Structure formats: C-alpha cells, structure tokens
Amino acid sequence: MCDSDLIIEAIHALEQGIPFTGGIYARKNGLATGQCIADLEVIALLGEPTDFANQIRYLLL
C-alpha cells in the first residue's frame, strides 16, 4: 500500500461515516526528513488523539 492509498481509504471512511484514528500526511518530496520529524514531534507533544480523530492533516510544504 502506498501513501495515496492511505489517503483514499481515509477519504472513503470520511464519506461513509466510518470512524478512524486520523492521519498526518506529507508529500515525500515536499519536506526534509528532519523538518517532518520535528513537526510530528510537536504534534505528538501538544496534541491529543481526539484532536485528530476522523481527520486528515497535511504538513505544510
């Protein structure tokens, strides 16, 4: 399964009203790995799991 498949599955869940834990997406060529990790760390430290339920969040490029 590739990244775009995960986005398609998340959109399907949203459209069908199927609960899911949420996801965070960044394009492979959009961010440096270190910056992506730093952004994910901030999200993990400051966010709660319920902040992301049934949502797809995109990291800025």
At residue 30, the pLDDT reads: 64
Q: Nearest 5 degrees, angle CA 16-CA 2-CA 28?
A: 115
- Spatial distance between the Cα atoms of 9 and 15, rounded to a whole number of angstroms: 10
For residue 29, pLDDT over 80 is answered with no
Q: Give residue 53's pLDDT band: very low, low, confident or very high (50, 70, 90).
A: very high
Q: Confirm if 4 and 28 have CB atoms less than 8 A apart.
A: no
**In the chain, where are the structural domains located?**
3-58
User: What is the SS3 assignment for 56?
Assistant: strand
Q: Nearest Cα to 35, choosing from 59, 52, 57?
A: 59
- Spatial distance between the Cα atoms of 4 and 11, rounded to a whole number of angstroms: 11
What pTM was computed for the model? Answer: 0.66
